[in-house]
Amino acid sequence: MSYYVGQKVKGKITGIQPYGAFVALDEHTQGLIHISECKSGVVRDLKHELTLGKEVEVVIMDIEQYNGKISLSLRQEDMHVYSQAPLIKNTNLRKRFWTNYHLDYGFSPIANQKEEWIKEALTRIGK
């Protein structure tokens, strides 16, 4: 299933940490409800608000483009739906340019790059 920002989905709480709760949206997709998005007001301990295995209806607040992390909210019930388009076609996603997930460098030994780097350095110094 493809998800989009603003979509209301049902999921099951699979983990509770001091900073938030993890929710399984389907077999392969999981999101995080940050502690600040659990309810309006101050939440001191999530274990008093949520329980493992509880079914919840959440709103998708954000989907990071490069790593696919999904941010969820319990308190944004009437959030405006930004787009009905699936994740790949959604142009309203925030881009995280400080990561290099979008670059496909792969892994190779430095020795494989050495000759190219030497040629580039010699052309820069004029030899």
* 104-116 tens-digit pLDDT: 556 667 788 888 8
Over residues 75-88, the pLDDT tens digits come to 876 444 444 444 44
Q: Is residue 36 part of a domain?
A: yes
115 in a structural domain = no
What's the domain range around 89? 8-94
In angstroms, rounded to a whole number, what is the distance separating the alpha carbons of residues 121 and 58? 54
pLDDT > 90 fraction of the chain, expressed in percent and rounded: 23
b/e map 56-85, b = 16+ CB within 10 Å: bebbbbebebeeeebbbbbebeeeeeeeee
In a domain, 116, yes or no: no
Give the DSSP letter of residue 99.
-
106: in domain? no
Please list, in sequence order, all residues whose beta carbon lies within 8 angstroms of the beta carbon of residue 30, skipping any fewer than 6 positions away: 14, 22, 23, 24, 70
Report the run of H or E that residue 9 belongs to, with start and end: strand 8-17
